[in-house]
Amino acid sequence: MVRRYDPERRQRIIDAAIRVVGRAGITGLSHRTVAAEADVPLGSTTYHFKTLDDLMVAALRQANEGFLAQIRDSGVLDDPETDLAAELARLMGEWFAGDRVRLELEYELYLAALRRPALRPVAAEWTDGVAEFLLRRTDPVTTRALVALMDGICLQALLTGGSYDAEYAREMLTRLLP
């Protein structure tokens, strides 16, 4: 039996899992639906990801990278003179201005950690990653409060179907900052 060399297959499977969750939610995710979406044999999904939790971990880890990369690439935390509240509110606004379905998907995977313990460390990676950047400008207690507030503002906007209010976010973030 000759195996076709396909170095991108694992990544295609992760991308397919993200699309499946985006379209059908966590309950629509299975090795079978992902294999069909990725156009790979079913055995490929189980080869790369033994369990659905393994696949969700990879998908959540990839989804987490979006906002962290946005913070990292913005450089806003490098300048101590920058209005941190305004910049964080702006970054959150940019995140919301992107693909809303993608944002909902990221939160769906993030919240799946409530019922799937295997996802909890990856969900914590997101909060720890954001906190790591914020620690450059604030103390640990303020950092945790900022992460919780940003998370709460985003989650409330998503759950209510409302729009992101940058001025409200800036005002609330300002209240936490010394």
Classify residue 59: in a domain, yes or no.
no
83: CATH: 1.10.357.10
Give the model confidence (pLDDT) of 26-56 as tens digits: 899 999 999 999 999 999 999 999 999 999 9
Tell me, yes or no, whether 99 and 137 share the same domain: yes
Count: domains in the chain:
2
Tell me, yes or no, whether 80 and 107 share the same domain: yes
Name the band, by pLDDT with cuts 50, 70 and 90, for residue 169: very high
Tell me, yes or no, whether 112 and 160 share the same domain: yes
Classify residue 78: in a domain, yes or no.
yes
Give which of 51, 158, 160 is closest to 107, Cα–Cα.
158
Give the model confidence (pLDDT) of 83-124 as tens digits: 999 999 999 998 888 777 778 888 888 888 889 998 899 889
Distance between CA atoms of 145 and 132, rounded to whole angstroms? 13
Classify residue 81: in a domain, yes or no.
yes
Tell me, yes or no, whether 43 and 72 share the same domain: no
Per the document, the length of the chain is: 178
Classify residue 55: in a domain, yes or no.
no
Tokens 């806003």 correspond to what residue?
76
Tell me, yes or no, whether 36 and 87 share the same domain: no
Classify residue 31: in a domain, yes or no.
yes
Residues 141-148 have a mean pLDDT of 96
Question: According to the model, what pLDDT value does residue 172 have?
Answer: 97
Tell me, yes or no, whether 77 and 155 share the same domain: yes
Angle, CA of 61, 67 and 73, to the nearest 5° = 115
Tell me, yes or no, whether 83 and 170 share the same domain: yes
Tell me, yes or no, whether 13 and 68 share the same domain: no
Identify the residue with better confidence: 73 or 170.
170
Residue 3 clears pLDDT 90, i.e. is over it: no
Classify residue 161: in a domain, yes or no.
yes
Question: According to the model, what pLDDT value does residue 62 have?
Answer: 86
Question: According to the model, what pLDDT value does residue 103 have?
Answer: 82
As a whole-number percent, the residues of the chain with pLDDT over 90 amount to: 52
Residues 73-80 have a mean pLDDT of 81
Tell me, yes or no, whether 40 and 69 share the same domain: no
Residue 134 clears pLDDT 80, i.e. is over it: yes
Classify residue 57: in a domain, yes or no.
no
Tell me, yes or no, whether 40 and 100 share the same domain: no
Residues 58-62 have a mean pLDDT of 88
Question: According to the model, what pLDDT value does residue 1 have?
Answer: 35
Tell me, yes or no, whether 45 and 91 share the same domain: no
Distance between CA atoms of 154 and 95, rounded to whole angstroms? 10
The range of the structural domain enclosing residue 33 comes to 1-50
Tell me, yes or no, whether 172 and 87 share the same domain: yes
Q: How many CB atoms lie within 10 A of CB 21?
A: 26
Question: According to the model, what pLDDT value does residue 64 have?
Answer: 79
1: CATH: 1.10.10.60
Question: According to the model, what pLDDT value does residue 2 have?
Answer: 36
Give the model confidence (pLDDT) of 5-23 as tens digits: 778 999 999 999 999 988 8
The token pair that represents 15 in the structure block = 């991308």
Classify residue 93: in a domain, yes or no.
yes
Distance between CA atoms of 46 and 62, rounded to whole angstroms? 19
Contacts of 123 (CB under 8 A, 6+ apart): 60, 110, 113
Residues 163-172 have a mean pLDDT of 95
